Structure formats: structure tokens, C-alpha cells
Amino acid sequence: MKAVKVGWLADTTDALGGAEFTQAEFRDAAPAGVEIIDCPAGQVVEGLDRYVIHNCVKYTLQDLRALEGKPTVKYWHDVGPWLELGVATWLHTNAQTKICCSPIQAEHMRIKDAVLIPPPVDLARFEQAA
């Protein structure tokens, strides 16, 4: 069986937060037969089978245009108020699957067809405090 090639768009940052941990969890959970191809800002690989977009503040509209017509998933870790207008509009218009963390977020962003997937939380980290 041919591997499915998935382009992975995610900002790189030294300040790790919930978005970075969540996207790493999803990446680690990729099923067998999925080959993840890193697509840093300015270096989006064209012609892959599918694309997954996480935080994308450093990506330009030109980066995203390379994905047009391909199955694209956008995981909204937040509401993205700092995105360039063209980037935000492209994401809302072109991402076939939009994932939000909660129904409140989806409602606030007016995404009616959002898939709801809360960020994974390792509850074992909180057992001692409980």
C-alpha cells in the first residue's frame, strides 16, 4: 500500500505552549501508512495527498495558495486574531475540515461545520496534585 503523504504546516517557536504540545500529540498519533512531510513557512511542499495546518502566523497567503484543491485540515488552537486578513480568509474558505477545541470557540468563530476535538491532556500529570 502506498504511503499517504501529509504536509505538516506548523510555526516553529522557542515558546512552547498548548498549540505546540497539541500538534505534537496529533503528529505522534499518525496512523501507519502516513508519511509526514514538514512544510515550514516559505517552504511548503506542493503535490502532497493532504495538508494539516496548525498555528500558521509565519505563513503567507502565497504559502497557502500551494494547497488549493488539496484536502486540507485546519486545527484552530485559538481564534487567530493576528493572522493576516488574506490568510484568515483563505483558511475559512479553503480548509475542507476545520477543527475547533470547543463548541464555544466554533460559535465565536462562526464555524458551523467544525469538528470538535479538545486538546489532549495527560491527566497522569495531575494525579499527585489531586
Question: With 0-12 CB in 10 A as exposed, 13-18 as middle and 19+ as buried, what is 98?
Answer: buried
Strand partners, 51: 7, 72
Tens-place pLDDT, residues 48-90: 999 999 999 999 999 999 899 999 999 998 898 888 889 999 9
**What pLDDT, on the 0 to 100 scale, is given for residue 12?**
87
Please tell me the distance from the alpha carbon of residue 101 to that of residue 114, in angstroms, as a whole number. Answer: 9
Residues 6+ apart with CB under 8 A from 92: 98, 111
Strand ranges, E, within 18-116: 34-38, 50-53, 72-76, 97-100, 115-116
Specify the pTM. 0.86
